[in-house]
């Protein structure tokens, strides 16, 4: 046994990486507060948060996680000052360009949940290209929630289902939860087992409302730019200590 265990040693936190949850979802919150504490502009917090995302997504792939879903920009985040929204979109573009150029190496599969239509044509195209190129990879699937809102997602699913009923392709009396799930952005992706929220806020903020019905929650005061592999191990260890009953005994 090592005399000085590595700081990132999962065993230190009690996490067993050989039996990971299948799907982890993260509300990456606290970029603004991280920047304020350093007397930096909020946009510097977003830049630091984007780096953390890169590190955590790569790590999740390395440990063999099947699905990672991250909340990057909510349908309500447009309420922020134009300059901040512009900076976030700029970071997204930078990230996507890098992701495309590194895809062969990273081998992650990327998807986007949300209504991409209000994004610039350039960003929309980048999302589409990222999605297309990464489709052939079998590694961790990373779902980026962009202009995403849980209520929006359910509404657009209800509209699509109603259209199918109208065209005789679906029957309202036979609609099951599984079938309805097929109309959501998360189509084909199992529900998150573990939802992590950074920066201590005790709310969902319109994240995966349908999919979180039986998810386990882990809230940490750590601000997203400071989120680390150790903190992820702590979240996994907490998850592994829970008794998931799904309404049973």
Q: Considering the complex, state which of residue 141 and residue 198 has its C-beta at the smaller distance from Mg ion.
A: 198
- 218's contact among Mg ion, ligand IPE, none, with CB below 5 to 8 A by partner kind, is none
Which of 77, 164, 206, 226 is catalytic? The answer is 77
- The nearer residue to ligand IPE, 175 or 209, going by C-beta atoms, is 209
Which of 20, 24, 25, 28: binder of ligand IPE (CB under 6 A)?
28
Residues 29, 111, 152, 216: which binds Mg ion (CB under 5 A)?
A: 29
Please identify which residue in 21, 30, 114, 192 interacts with ligand IPE, judged by CB under 6 A: 30
Stretch that binds Mg ion, among 26-34, 37-45, 50-58, 110-118 (CB under 5 A): 26-34
Kindly state the smallest distance separating residue 73's Cβ from ligand IPE, in Å: 5
Q: Which residue from 123, 103, 104 is spatially nearest to 115, judged by alpha carbons? A: 123
Report how far apart, in Å, the C-alpha atoms of 149 and of each of 1, 152, 154, 163, 189 are: 47, 5, 9, 21, 17
Residue 84 φ/ψ, nearest 5 degrees = -70, -45
Q: What are residue 145's phi and psi, to 5 degrees? A: -85, 115
Q: Which is nearer to ligand IPE, 10 or 29 (CB)?
A: 29
Active site residue 152: no
Q: Which of 23, 30, 27 is nearest to 207 (CA)?
A: 27
46 lines the binding site for Mg ion (CB under 5 A): no
CA within 13 Å, CB half, 230: 9
Tokens of 221: 């005061």
32 binds ligand IPE, rule: CB under 6 A: yes
- Exposed (0-12), middle (13-18) or buried (19+): which is 164, by Cβ within 10 Å? middle
Active-site residue list: 29, 77
């Amino acid at each position: 046994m090592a005399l000085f265990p590595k700081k990132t040693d999962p065993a230190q936190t009690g996490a067993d990486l050989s039996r990971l949850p299948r799907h982890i979802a993260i509300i990456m919150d606290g970029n603004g507060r991280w920047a304020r504490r350093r007397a930096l502009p909020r946009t510097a917090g977003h830049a630091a948060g984007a780096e953390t995302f890169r590190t955590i997504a790569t790590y999740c792939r390395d440990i063999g996680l099947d699905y990672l879903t991250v909340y990057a920009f909510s349908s309500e985040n447009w309420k922020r000052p134009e300059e901040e929204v512009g900076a976030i979109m700029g970071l997204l573009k930078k990230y996507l360009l890098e992701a495309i150029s590194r895809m062969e190496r990273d081998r992650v599969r990327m998807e986007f949940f949300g209504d991409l239509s209000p994004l610039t044509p350039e960003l929309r195209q980048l999302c589409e290209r990222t999605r297309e190129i990464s489709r052939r990879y079998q590694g961790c699937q990373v779902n980026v929630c962009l202009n995403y809102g849980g209520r929006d997602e359910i509404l657009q699913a209800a509209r699509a289902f109603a259209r199918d009923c109208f065209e005789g392709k679906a029957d309202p009396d036979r609609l099951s939860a599984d079938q309805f799930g097929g109309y959501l952005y998360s189509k084909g992706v199992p529900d998150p087992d573990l939802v992590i929220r950074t920066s201590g806020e005790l709310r969902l903020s319109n994240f995966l409302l349908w999919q979180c019905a039986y998810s386990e929650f882990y809230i940490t005061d750590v601000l997203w730019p400071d989120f680390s592999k150790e903190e992820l191990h702590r979240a996994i260890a907490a998850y592994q200590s829970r008794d998931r009953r799904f309404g049973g005994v």
